[in-house]
Amino acid sequence: MELGSATDRGRIVMLVDNDVENDSRVQKTARSAADAGWDVILLGRGLPARTWTLGRAEVRLIAMPVPLSKPKFSFRRRWLRGPLGYPPTGIAPYRHQWVKAKFADLEVREAAQRLAARAGQPVSPVRRARLSGRRLATMVERKWVSLRYWQLNRAPRTMSGPWDRMWTSFWQKTMGDRAWRRLAPHLWDFELAFGPVVDELRPDIIHANDFRMLGVGARAAIRARARGRDVKLVWDAHEFTPGITTVDENARWHPGICAHEREYAPYADAVITVSELLAEMLEREHNLPERPGVVLNAPDLRAGDDRGDAGPVPDLRELCGVGPTVPLLVYSGAAAKQRGLDTMIEGLPHLDGVHVALVVNGPTSAYLLELLARAEELGVADRVHALPYVPYGQVVPFLAAADVAVSPVHRWPNYEISLTTKFLEYSHARLPIVVSDVRTMSETVRATGQGEVYVAGEVDDYVRAVRAVLAEPARYRAAYDKPGLLDDWTWAVQAETLLAVYDKLAPMGNA
């Protein structure tokens, strides 16, 4: 596609609810739109607020206060659970510290009395009695302060009890899809931070990534249309919201975000998503007028020539401290329980000499530290290596140094319906893949012959699959020699669908 000027094509404002840097899809989307001649401004959230360029696109991180992320009851005294507790105003640590100060003062005064007695200086019985009384009163005060402090800090109330389920049901019945305003008010934090910025930028197209930004984009489009500007909204659905893992401590959160998505989905002028199956589910869930376009989050193979300050591709084996003949398994992606990383750790004692590289977004996160502690218990800690992400343009050559790639995700709805970003990156690295039996990825692996499938969460079956691949790696790598296998799994091909959506919505931009 021939490049044009920003004034010819118009302005696209992209919205994402993260810091951009670890989201390869939004980075590639912004680059492609900018290279096609659109004036692209990508808005994310992060601290500190800052701006940089991504190819020809501009990235801005917005500092977003989140006062609505806490429930109102966390700011109130808990009259039933802690009737004697201090109010949550900060007075508790003040009182606690003040009592400690009183004891410190008493110790010094008592020590001074003892010194005076040793020196033969008389101490009035009244002063002795007064000091003893002061100590007794301060001890009582300390007990009282400790009780009130304990009642304030006892196990906090969750939002998943019977009252919360009744609360959720009440607002769903009385407000319908508008109930998210009561159930998930934290979504207003996104609106209040991003909405005014979008209005000021006066976009021709708003590209909203996922459910949080769908509402921000829809409301901005409504306001712009009321002012006479024909702004179009593209909703980029990365996952199926009804299938998102729920929050155990909050019965309101999941119904709230689903209601939010249902309210604003009809305002989208175009919907794109990450797989054919998810496109079908979204069309049915929201009664969309047409099937969403599919844009796989495939690797941008051209990004290797445009790494900027990223520098040379790191050596995976060197970072792990292993030589070229050591069997090396690699996982790349988020570190979370539902990703099944525990299966890889539990399997290591049965895989002699095999090392595991975990390339994750949080190498020092609490969950990953739990995994490393478990590896220590199993006696395999020296064979587990936690590494940070590399820039998205380096991912494929970085991973290619491994022997086997692993996708051990558990069977959650959103993992069943698409080829994940990492699966496509593994494929372009031409790695044999061991994948759990989630629907889409397992069907693909069985059809292509590029790896082995095991039953999700079953350590013995996982070990079997890894052993099979390590025994005949060339057999599985040969699958990538089949003509056309990887052709469509590139960003260059996927971006054609994306750019066609933009052109259809605003072929000449708006004045």
Q: How far apart are CA 466 and CA 499, in angstroms?
A: 40
β-strand 404-407 against 433-436: which pairing, if any? Answer: parallel
Determine whether 173 is exposed, middle or buried from the number of CB atoms within 10 Å of its CB (0-12, 13-18, 19+): exposed
Q: Does the pLDDT at position 293 exceed 50?
A: yes
- Vertex 146 angle, CA 140 and 148, to 5°: 105
Residue 237 — φ and ψ, nearest 5°?
-90, 110
Strands 433-436 and 451-454: parallel
Q: Tell me the two tokens of residue 208.
A: 């909203």
431 pLDDT exceeds 80? Answer: yes
DSSP secondary structure letter of residue 250: B
- Quote the pLDDT of residue 201: 97
CA distance 90 to 349: 50
Q: What is the pLDDT of residues 222-237, one digit of tens each?
A: 999 999 999 999 999 9
Phi, psi of 444 (to 5 degrees): -65, -45
Give the CATH fold of the 310-485 domain: Rossmann fold (3.40.50)
Q: Give tens-digit pLDDT for 308-319.
A: 446 799 999 999
* Alpha carbons 405 and 431: distance in angstroms, whole number: 6
CA distance 162 to 97: 38
Average pLDDT over residues 138-148: 87
What is the average pLDDT across 287-292? Answer: 96
Q: What is the pLDDT of residues 382-419, one digit of tens each?
A: 999 999 999 888 999 999 999 999 999 998 888 888 89
Sheet containing strand 451-454, strands side by side: 384-388, 355-360, 328-333, 404-407, 433-436, 451-454
6-69+173-294 CATH, one of 3.40.50.2000, 3.40.50.10490, 3.30.1360.30, 2.40.30.10: 3.40.50.2000
Which residues touch 209 (CB under 8 Å, ≥6 apart)? 14, 15, 16, 17, 25, 26, 236, 238
Q: Is the pLDDT of residue 239 over 60?
A: yes
Strands 328-333, 50-54: pairing kind: unpaired
- Using CA atoms, how far apart are residues 79 and 82, in angstroms rounded to an integer? 5
CB 14 within 8 A of CB 29: yes
Instruction: Give the CA-trace dihedral at 273, 279, 283, 284, to 10 degrees.
Output: -130
pLDDT higher than threshold 90 for residue 104: no
pLDDT band for 123, please (50, 70, 90 cuts).
confident
